[in-house]
Each structure stands twice: as C-alpha cells, then as structure tokens.
Amino acid sequence: MTENGSDSGKALIIYIAKKMFLAIVLIVFVIILLEIGIGWVSPPSDSQSTVPPREDLVHPKPVEIASKNTQKTQDARIASGEHASKPVQGSGTAEPAQTMAAGSELGADHEGSGQSSETVQKSRATGAMREKLIHSETAPGHGATSRSSQVATATATHSNKTKTQEKEHLPASDGQSLPAAKSAANTATGHEDTQAHGPNDHGEAEAEVVDFPMVGMAFVDAVISPLEYELNERFYGWRPNDILDFTDNVNNFQLGVLEVTRRSAVILSERISRTGSTAAFDQNLQNAMNWFMIKSDRYWFPSAESKYKDGLKELRTYFSRLEKGEAQFYNRTDNLIPLLMAYQDLLGSCDENLVKFKEDDGSEVSFFKADDYFFYAQGVASALHTILKGIEKDFVAMVDSRGGMEMLHHAITSCHHAMKLDPWIILNSDLSSVFANHRLNMAGPISHARFYLGVLIKALST
C-alpha cells in the first residue's frame, strides 16, 4: 500500500509539473505573438492614409481661382445688364469680338424689353469704353495685366488668407487642433521599438534646434533625454527587471544608456555644479545621482524604474533652477576633462568586450554573449551621441579656443555610426569567414570615438 501511495503521489506531482510547464510555454508563446503583432501593426503614414483630403484645406491653383472668379464676375455683369470685360489671355473665356456681340445682343434685349433708346445708347457707350480700357491694359509691351486678372489675384489672396485662418482654428481629425497635431508630429521621437534593436537616437527626429537661454541647460537636457525615452516612451518600458525576460538585446541597450547617465550625473554633481572642493553639493543633483545607482534589475521596494524617474525629476528641477539663475553650472576646462575621461573609460570597456575572443574564465565568447556586448555598446554610443551634442553647445567657446571642435565632431560622428548598425541577427563568425563578426563591426566606431575623445582631452589639457 505504501509503495502504491508513493507512486501515485509522484505521478500526481509529475502531472502537475507538466501542466504548469505547458501553461508557462503557452503564456510565453502568447506574449511573443502579441509583441510581434504590435511591432507589425503601425499607424498608416500620410501617403497611405485612406481618409480623403478636406476640400476646405486644399489650396486651389491661382489659375483656377482666376478663371472661376472671372466667370463669376462676367455672369454678375451680364445679369445686371453690363458688358463682360476681357479676361486674362489663356483663361479660356470669350474674345473681344464675342464680347461685342454679346453687348449687341444685350442691347437688343434691352430694346425688346421696353427700355428707352437713350438707355440702350448709354449701355453701348459704356461697353465701348470698357472695351478700349481692356485693349489699353492688355496691349503688348506695356507689361500690365487686365483689371479682371487683378481682381482675380486679389480675390485669390483673400481666399488663401481666409483658408489659412480657418486652417489654424479648425480641429484635426484626431481631436487635436492642427498646430497641436503639427507640434506632436515634429516632436515624435521616431524610435522604432523592436525586440532586437534599440532606437537610432534620442531626439534626432526633432527638426528644430532648441536654443537654451542659460549655459548648462543644453547639457542637462541631453543627460535627461536618453534615459527618459527608455523609461517613458519605449514600448514595454524598462525591461532589465522584468520577471518574464524575452528581450535581452533591448535590456542590454538600456543598461548602456543607464551607465552613461550615471557617470554624467556623478560628474555633474561633484564637479560641474561646484566652484571647487570646498563648495556645497547641489541637493537635487545629489538625489539624482543616488537614485540612478539603484540596481537595474530591482523589481520591487523600490523598483528600478520608479527611482530612475525620481532621479530624472531631480534633474528637471535643477534644469528649471538653471533657467531661473538659481543654480550653478561651471563650463570650465577642469570640469570637462573628468567628464570626457569617464566617457573614455566606458568606451574602453565596451571596446574590450567587442574585440576579445576569450572570457575571463578562459571560455570562448558565446553566440548569446556576443549580442549582449553589441547592444550594450550601442546603448552607450546612443546616449553619448546625444550628450556630446549638449557638450558641443555649452562648452563651445572653451573647446573652440583649444582647437578641439574637430575632434569633438569626429567623436559625435563615430557614435552616430555605431548607432546606425542594424543587423537582423548578431553574428560572431571567424575573422576569415564569409559571414560577419558584428562585434568587431561595432568595435570600429566605438574605438574611433574613444580615440577622438582622448585627443580632445590632450588638447584641453595643454
């Protein structure tokens, strides 16, 4: 009996375990299908939109406006008993002979209707005078347009102005006003969120260059933007602390962005916002630096994303204080050099992971580890691309005086090249193989960015 009971208990446990395993596999399969479906389903572009254009928002051609207005003017004059003036040449309306014939017929109609001969003569005289005026205005060599074309042009201008004003106040189809919709389209990030690829750039889609009134605001905004995108704008948000982990490539990309943000916050808090070692720390920057140090995979009490958002709020507060003149930002050489050295060290670590063939334990770099190194380095390059642009704005005078703008531009370009690498699958083939080794492809621009930052540091040190 005891053996039979134990066997049945084991069989029950095995049965339950199999069912749980099948349930987990089914859940994973459904989640993958949902992510793939969301990636495929995207809003149609303007060229693919099936909604017909609104007629009141379409600007008619000037020739069409002139033709319509001229025809309306002629109809109104004929209805009131006047002769139609000659329109602009090429508009497809009656010629002078036809106009005179129409005037004669109109005069006959007037006579038939019982009007006096004096009225008919006045009408014909008026038509003759207008005919002379038309010939004088449209005579070759004078370079003047007819009165009807001037009226049509004025009417077209007024029509365009009216439609422009209506356009500014008409609501858009999605519930927003047109200026608001246009603003939303201009500020779209343009980041494609796929399972295996990170965004091209944080804020690169913005067409307008923002000019900040105070020194330091461009750099602080550049520090905020990369991590803010990963937390608030990327689909599925912050991923390294997810229980169900299916997107390790995006996870490593986000870890690279986080590491750049951490090092920037440390230098900003300890050096750039202070006059020297005896100056007090800025409390907002201290809080931001501490919140960014929370482990990236912490799920609860507190969660990583909640504390990172708190850190961004502290940076935004510091940003607002800079705008009001209540905070300090010292764009000196001795503050920029430590910042660039921190970036150089981070790029050096990425470079080593991209070119090495053996791990620390002596094993070869696996296929799965290769893409982790690739996307981590790409996250670092993406965040650095944005931040180096902020440095270019706030430290421009000092860098240019040392002849370092060319090196800075080369570093920005190298980071941009690293961001644009977008293979379907990360291969880790032999160097002599016909297949690619994408780790080494990424190592090229990363190494170039590190080199130019080193040259820039030497130029600033002399």
Q: Which token pair is 320?
A: 């607002």
| Inside any domain, residue 249 | yes
| Inside any domain, residue 50 | no
Q: Which token pair is 141?
A: 């060599």
Residues 373 and 418 in one domain: yes
Between helix 248-267 and helix 333-355 the angle, nearest 10°, is 160
pLDDT score, position 209: 57
| Inside any domain, residue 176 | no
| Inside any domain, residue 182 | no
Residues 240 and 319 in one domain: yes
Q: How far apart are the first and last CA of the chain?
A: 89
The sign of the dihedral angle between the CA atoms of 383, 386, 390, 393 is positive
The sign of the dihedral angle between the CA atoms of 179, 180, 182, 183 is positive
| Whether 318 contacts 217, CB under 8 Å | no
Whole-number Cα distances in Å, 405 to 85, 219, 344, 397, 453 = 67, 16, 17, 10, 11
Residues 259 and 313 in one domain: yes
How far is C-alpha 41 from the geometric centre of its chain's CA atoms? 19
> What's the full length of the chain, in residues?
462
End position of a domain, from candidates 152, 168, 184: 168
Residue type, 251: N
Which is nearest to 318 in space by CA: 224, 442, 177? 224
Write out the residue range of the structural domain in which residue 142 sits. Answer: 56-168
Residues 129 and 210 in one domain: no
| Inside any domain, residue 336 | yes
Residues 250 and 145 in one domain: no
| Inside any domain, residue 183 | no
Residues 123 and 72 in one domain: yes
Reduce the secondary structure of 386-441 to three states and give it as a string: HHHHHHHHHCHHHHHHCCCHHHHHHHHHHHHHHHHCCCCCCCECCCCCCCCEHHHH
Residues 248 and 124 in one domain: no
CA pair distance 454, 460, nearest whole angstrom = 10
Residues 198 and 113 in one domain: no
Which is nearest to 107 in space by CA: 85, 88, 129, 126? 126
Residues 210 and 355 in one domain: yes
Task: Decide: pTM greater than 0.75.
Answer: no
CA pair distance 285, 334, nearest whole angstrom = 19
Whole-number Cα distances in Å, 148 to 64, 72, 101, 265 = 14, 11, 20, 68
pLDDT in tens, the chain (462 residues): 444 445 666 677 887 887 888 888 888 888 877 767 655 444 444 444 344 443 443 344 444 444 555 555 666 555 555 444 444 444 444 444 444 444 444 344 444 444 444 444 555 555 555 554 444 444 443 333 334 444 344 444 444 444 444 444 333 333 333 333 333 334 333 333 433 444 445 544 443 557 899 999 999 999 999 999 999 999 999 999 998 888 899 999 999 999 999 999 999 999 999 999 899 999 999 999 999 999 999 998 899 999 999 999 999 999 999 999 999 999 999 999 999 999 999 999 999 999 999 999 999 999 999 999 999 999 999 999 999 999 999 999 999 999 999 999 999 999 999 999 999 999 999 889 999 999 999 999 999 999 999 999 999 998
> How many CB atoms sit inside 10 A of residue 147's CB?
17
Task: Report the domain count for the chain.
Answer: 3
Residues 363 and 245 in one domain: yes
CA pair distance 84, 305, nearest whole angstrom = 75
| Inside any domain, residue 121 | yes
Secondary structure of residue 459 in the 3-state scheme: helix
